[in-house]
Amino acid sequence: MINGTPRVAIQGIRASFHEEAAFRYFGEDIQTIECNSFKQTFEALKNGEADYVVMAIENSIAGSLLPNYSLLLNYNFPVIGEVYLPIQLHLMALPGVAFEDVKTAMSHPIAIRQCVDFFDDYPQIKVIESNDTAACAKRIRDEQLTDTVAIANTLAAKLYGLQILERRIESNKKNFTRFLILTTHDNAVKVEANKASLCFQVSNEVGSLAKVLNIFAENHINMSKIQSMPVLGRRNEYNFYVDIEWAAQNEYDTALRHILKYTQNFNILGEYKRYEEGVQTIADGQ
């Protein structure tokens, strides 16, 4: 940290949804470290250029961001928190541009996927994929593009001086993205956790995974997420990424002891507080 200000690495640039998620978790007194890729955010943390990483892991419409699960395992930085961010997507342009003048729309491919219903109604608009929502807004301002709109959030419109032509163009108004907060092992602070992210493998036999899931159920552990990923270069072998929640610490401890008998390459990716709307976890000592 610099003078107590957290350095937070994000994929994308300022005013992206990743920065909005960082603000929601840490507050706005942060130094944003802009990175071109998710891997670059982990490298920034590894090289001491950042104190934290904020990384999207799933979206309620587009689904899981599968490559990011591999980054979790490969870099082995602990997950210390999470943020659920409502995704509100707006169509924005230079001031004075009319909707009838628009020929092209730019945004991140996941954002575009979340707005397919809107663009089905306007087939004359060419949709172009880019690497970041906020970067599209910035490009419109920098290049003074008068026939192009960006799909981004209100932060981007405000920061880059654009006007919003159409609000809330996302297909599902209850759309949200879940972001994970990661840091180094040295920087991680022990908290009274009630959620964990795990990764493990099971044998390729009938009922192997069911045995693990039954142990969770028997110990009143709620499994809120399960994601499988093939183990690179190994036929019929999978990593299972699981998020679990609990009310009693002793039940969580008991469940872990028992599932160790039925798993291989077991990893605790992080133990942290489940996100609750309006609770700023960094202020609670994390």
| Structural domains for the chain | 7-86+175-186 (3.40.190.10), 90-166 (3.40.190.10), 195-272 (3.30.70.260)
- The active-site residue, picked from 41, 133, 148, 177, is 177
| 200 is a catalytic site residue | no
| 104 is a catalytic site residue | no
Quick one: what percent of the chain has pLDDT higher than 70?
A: 97
pLDDT at 90 over 70: yes
Give pLDDT, residue 204.
86
24 is written with which tokens? Answer: 């929601």
Query: If you write DSSP's letter for every residue of 131-200 in order, what string do you get?
Result: S-HHHHHHHHHHHT-SSEEEEE-HHHHHHTT-EEEES---S-TT-EEEEEEEE-TTT-------EEEEEE
pLDDT band at 62 (very low <50, low <70, confident <90, very high): confident
Give pLDDT, residue 136.
97
How many Cβ atoms sit within 10 Å of the Cβ of residue 265?
A: 12
pLDDT at 233 over 90: no
The helix/strand/coil state of 2 is strand
Mean residue pLDDT across the chain: 94
pLDDT at 286 over 60: no
pLDDT at 41 over 70: yes
Give pLDDT, residue 278.
61
Give pLDDT, residue 205.
87
pLDDT digits (tens, 9 = 90+) for 146-194: 999 999 999 999 999 999 999 999 999 898 999 999 999 999 999 999 9
Give pLDDT, residue 279.
54
- The active-site residue, picked from 179, 183, 200, 216, is 179
16 is written with which tokens? Answer: 């992206």
Give pLDDT, residue 236.
82
pLDDT at 29 over 60: yes
What mean pLDDT comes out for the span 209-223? 97
What mean pLDDT comes out for the span 187-203? 95
